[in-house]
Amino acid sequence: MSDLICIGAIAGAFGVSGEVRIKSFCSEPTDIASYGPLTTEDGSRTFHITLTRPVAGGLGARISGVTTREQAEALRGTSLYVRRDRLPALPDDEFYHADLIGLPAFDTGGELIGKVTAIFNHGAGDILEISTNRHKSALLLPFTTAIVPNVDLAAGRIVVDLPDESE
């Protein structure tokens, strides 16, 4: 498990005075401002953010030291990370995406299916992308207890109950 968790990204400039648009990956989007300074993945830059208002596609924010549109635009695409120990502990049935990506996925019979390569959420719930050699393309499966009955972070694996291919 990584010591850093990506909790958002700078989507670009907003306005002309250095404000940025932030896309928050937190379950409560405004929580992104409550974890203290955020960093780049390599730790080379630190950002102190202050949320200003909701905007289309995210949240408006000011970043200390960013005062022009050009400076804000230069940050477009920057992922924002926080140390894991600054995040709240999760209930047993919830997981940080970063903890699931990379885990091997086994079927209920114990055979390796592949590994979790991404997690998507388009509004109706999380979808796991599992790369596999069994199929021509990656599997996209809903992250529900019916399909993923077991997530064992300690053992570093998930169990997937694949739907019957005839269904």
In order of their start, the domains of the chain are: 4-86 (2.40.30.60), 97-160 (2.30.30.240)
- Give residue-wise pLDDT tens across range 28-53: 999 999 998 999 999 999 999 999 99
State residue 166's pLDDT score. Answer: 47
pLDDT at 119: 92
Q: Mean of the pLDDT values across residues 58-68?
A: 95
Separation of alpha carbons 93 and 71, rounded Å: 41
Average pLDDT over residues 53-60: 92
- 20: pLDDT confidence band, cut at 50, 70 and 90? very high
Query: What is the rounded average pLDDT of the residues 46-62?
Result: 94
Q: Where are the beta strands (DSSP E) in 14-162?
A: 20-24, 38-39, 46-47, 49-55, 58-63, 79-83, 104-107, 112-121, 126-132, 139-142, 150-152, 157-160
Average pLDDT over residues 49-64: 94
Residue 167 pLDDT > 50, yes or no? no
Q: Is the pLDDT of residue 122 over 60?
A: yes
CA dist., res. 119 & res. 105, Å (int): 13
Give the DSSP H or E segment for 9: strand 4-13
How does pLDDT run across 142-160, given as a tens digit for each residue?
999 999 999 999 899 999 9
pLDDT confidence of residue 165: 63
Smallest CA-to-CA distance from 68 within 19, 23, 118, 3 is with: 19
Pairing of strands 58-63, 20-24: antiparallel
pLDDT digits (tens, 9 = 90+) for 73-119: 999 999 999 998 998 888 888 888 888 999 999 999 999 999 999 99
Query: What does the pLDDT average to over 163-167?
Result: 63
With tokens 């970043």, the residue in question is: 63
Its pTM stands at 0.76
Q: At residue 57, does pLDDT exceed 90?
A: no
